[in-house]
Amino acid sequence: MPSEGQSVVLGPHQGRRYDMGAIQAVFKADRPETLGRFSISEWWLDARHEGPGAHKHDDNDEIFYVIEGTASILVGDTWHQMAKGSLCVIPRGTMHDFRNESASRMGLLNVYVGGPFEEMMPMIVDWYRDNPAKRIDWASAFGVAALRLLTDLDDGLRRYACPVLPHPRPCGGDPAIRRPSDERLFSAQGLGLARFL
């Protein structure tokens, strides 16, 4: 193998696959192709499922690029709603996580810089076999009554062109109803529902 690594040409859906139930990973390039300098993989997450849990890497930077759906990505102590085409760079030592709060499948392209990643996959697959990814279940997490209240509130305000659920701009200047970029969707944020919408 040349000292520079090797060229990689893959078509859609090609790569080394790892199935972890609600999470699937497809490794496009890792130690064999990059001499262990970086790793490139796709991470797919079924609708309304938690990701790996908050963690950090002391020696590695990560880049996430949303290739399908909308991803919720934790960087430090802030969750970001990221649409298809969005990019997130996470420096080493930064707490991070991802999850899919939407009703559709979500995909991320991940570049793991400063070392290989795939060699950890057998251990990760085994862990997920015993600890399946958790489904985000709004009704059990917050109670059916709270969800009904939010839905009714959104339906009522939507009649006046002022929805509570994701909306492109503040409604009528009311600071209690905001765009969800900072996860403060409405003044009743104490219900804890904002991060799940």
What confidence tens digit (pLDDT) does each residue in 125-141 have? 999 999 898 887 655 55
If you average pLDDT over residues 95-120, what whole number do you get? 95
Q: What is the pLDDT of residues 152-194, one digit of tens each?
A: 665 555 555 555 444 443 444 444 433 333 333 333 334 344 4
What percent of the chain clears pLDDT 70, i.e. is strictly above it? 68
Percentage of residues of the chain with pLDDT beyond 90: 62
Strand partners, 45: 23, 106
Mean pLDDT computed over 139-150: 54
Domain 16-130 has CATH 2.60.120.10: yes
Residue length, the chain?
197
pLDDT at 143 > cutoff 50: yes
In angstroms, the Cα distances linking 86 to 75, 89, 107 are 14, 10, 11
Mean pLDDT of the region 8-37: 95
Q: Which residue has the higher pLDDT, 144 or 44?
A: 44
3-state class percentages of the chain: helix first, strand second, coil last, to nearest 5:
25, 30, 45
Q: What is the largest CA-CA distance in the chain?
A: 65
pTM over 0.85: no
CB 88 within 8 A of CB 75: yes
Q: Where along the chain do its domains lie?
A: 16-130, 138-196
Residue-wise pLDDT for 27-39, tens only, equals 999 999 999 999 9
Collect contacts of 3-12 with beta carbons under 8 A, ≥24 apart: 3/35, 4/35, 5/33, 5/34, 5/35, 5/37, 6/32, 6/33, 8/33
